[in-house]
Structure 1
Amino acid sequence: MKFDMDYIAHHNALTETNPYLKLFLTIFLLILTLALDNLYFDIFIFIVMSIVILAIAKINYKSYLKFLSLPMAFLVITCLFLMFFFGKGEVIYETGIFGIVVTTDSFHYAVYTFMRVFGCLPCLGFLALTTPIAKILNCLRTLKVPKVMVEIALLMYNAIFIFLNEIDTMQKAQDTRLGYHSYWTSFKSLGALVSTIFLRSLDKSETLQFALDSRGYTGELPVYEPRKKEN
């Protein structure tokens, strides 16, 4: 099943719920989670927001897990880096590799960082998976967020899904040519994928600029504004 966040945001039980309410709730929970810095509260928020996403918004659990998979992968890598290379205190584990050790401070630092991000992820997922990006950007615009920030968010959102589609197409092409049938070919295919995506990103950015210029771009992108309901 291909992950399509934009489709999910338009087709769930909370799509038509007030976007301002969802935006403020997300911001409030993020600030509360970061301010309290409590491991038990982080777990509580993760469980509660996951229930809201799966049971109330009725989003498929596979889609939710796919949403969490990429940031969780980066989170684990970051926390391992923090654990082995930061912090002082009593040594609790020695790797035996170039003097790299785990200390009490670095272990606690990694655990607390992991749990705080762990608690924030479903809060962001609640907003991203239940609210179309057009409604989010309209909320930001009406709340007087600087136009340049709204436009950057729109362009980044557009670029992310273009490149995810490119990656999916290239991976399928490599897979049909047995590009992942062994560890060695998998590493070669991954290297070719990364290098090609970098070149494609440069090409896509130039194409996007040409497309904007050809449509009379003057430095400001129009943002969707929903029609007011007639009484």
Structure 2
Amino acid sequence: MEFNIDYIAHTNRIADENPYIKVLISFFFLLSALIVSNNYYSIAVIIISSILILAVARVSLKDYLKFLAIPFSFTFLTCLFLLFFFPQGAYIWDSGYWGIGITTYSYYISVLTFFRVFACFSSLGFLALTTPISDVMHVLRSVHVPKIFCEISVLMYNAIFIFIERTETMRNAQKSRLGYLTTSMTAFKSFGTMFSNLFIISLEKSDTLQRSLDSRCYTGELPVYKPDRTKSSYPKLVN
């Protein structure tokens, strides 16, 4: 099975626990990691969030690493740029070319940025991997977050999974036709064809989504599921 964050959020060990507590924990760690400029605190947030995800929620290590893979790539490149191209302070290492080198300040700011960003992603990972989107939206609506923000978030969340599924399908189809194994030019052409098709499919899907909403009497507001975990009953809808 491919990595599916929505499936993990619905099947982990604490998926049915109080969403208010999970949102509070996640946002507390997120905001404190942004405010506190301390590497040790950021590392502590990463460790605590990882323990909650792996040991408490019982999310597999493989899925957790997949969740962090893309953020790690962007964070690594950003911190690498800060490390070599931020010439302030005394030089620790100087390449002698175009001012490229490592200074005391660039080393400090790159390490601080790396751990801070990963602490924030770990905090968000706890929320994303343990709490279904319906519960998150219910919490946001209950604290009077604007309805338009919640509705756009739900639609974007749904569109992301459709986009990922179509991308994977087209990539597998191209691989089966040796679209990436012959020459670099063929791989580049396959990559461009895939993204041009994705653009067209995105327009078609957006039109289909709008027609679906209109056919269900959409008036500009989506009802949000209100979880009732105290007794067995039908789901309640709140406007």
Aligned partners of 1:87 and 1:106 also within 8 Å: yes
State the partner residue of 1:192.
193
CA 1:111 to 1:182, structure 2 compared with 1: closer, same or farther past 3 Å? farther
Shift in Å, 1:52: 1.7
Aligned partners of 1:54 and 1:61 also within 8 Å: yes
Q: Distance in 2 between matches of 1:183 and 1:110?
A: 37
Aligned partners of 2:87 and 2:99 also within 8 Å: no
Q: Distance in 1 between matches of 2:24 and 2:191?
A: 40
Shift in Å, 1:158: 0.7
State the partner residue of 1:153.
153
Q: Distance in 1 between matches of 2:111 and 2:55?
A: 29
Shift in Å, 1:33: 1.4
State the partner residue of 2:235.
none
AA aligned to 1:14 is: I
**Which runs of at least 4 in structure 1 moved beyond 6 Å after TM superposition?**
none
Q: Distance in 1 between matches of 2:106 and 2:203?
A: 39
Aligned partners of 2:39 and 2:112 also within 8 Å: yes
State the partner residue of 1:207.
208
CA 1:134 to 1:117, structure 2 compared with 1: closer, same or farther past 3 Å? same
State the partner residue of 1:48.
48
The count of residues paired between Structure 1 and Structure 2 equals 229
3-state SS of paired residue (1:216): coil
Shift in Å, 1:85: 4.7
State the partner residue of 2:68.
68
Shift in Å, 1:228: 6.5
In structure 2, runs of 5+ residues without a counterpart are: 233-239
Shift in Å, 1:101: 1.9
AA aligned to 1:69 is: A
Per-residue CA deviations over 1:76-131 (Å, capped at 9, x if unaligned) read: 233334445555344544384xx362452344332221110111211111111111
Residue 140 (structure 1) aligned with residue 140 (structure 2): yes
AA aligned to 2:221 is: E
Shift in Å, 1:180: 2.4
Aligned partners of 1:89 and 1:103 also within 8 Å: no
AA aligned to 2:197 is: T
Residue 113 (structure 1) aligned with residue 119 (structure 2): no
Residue 178 (structure 1) aligned with residue 178 (structure 2): yes
Once superposed, what is the RMSD of the aligned Cα atoms?
2.2
**Aligned ranges for residues 26-41 of structure 1 at < 5 Å?**
26-41=26-41
**Aligned ranges for residues 10-25 of structure 1 at < 5 Å?**
10-25=10-25
State the partner residue of 1:101.
100
Q: Distance in 1 between matches of 2:134 and 2:99?
A: 47
Which one is further off, 128-137 or 217-226? 217-226
AA aligned to 1:148 is: I
- With the length of structure 2 as denominator, give the TM-score of the two structures: 0.86
Q: Distance in 2 between matches of 1:75 and 1:183?
A: 31
Aligned partners of 1:87 and 1:109 also within 8 Å: no
Which one is further off, 209-218 or 125-134? 209-218
Aligned partners of 1:84 and 1:102 also within 8 Å: yes
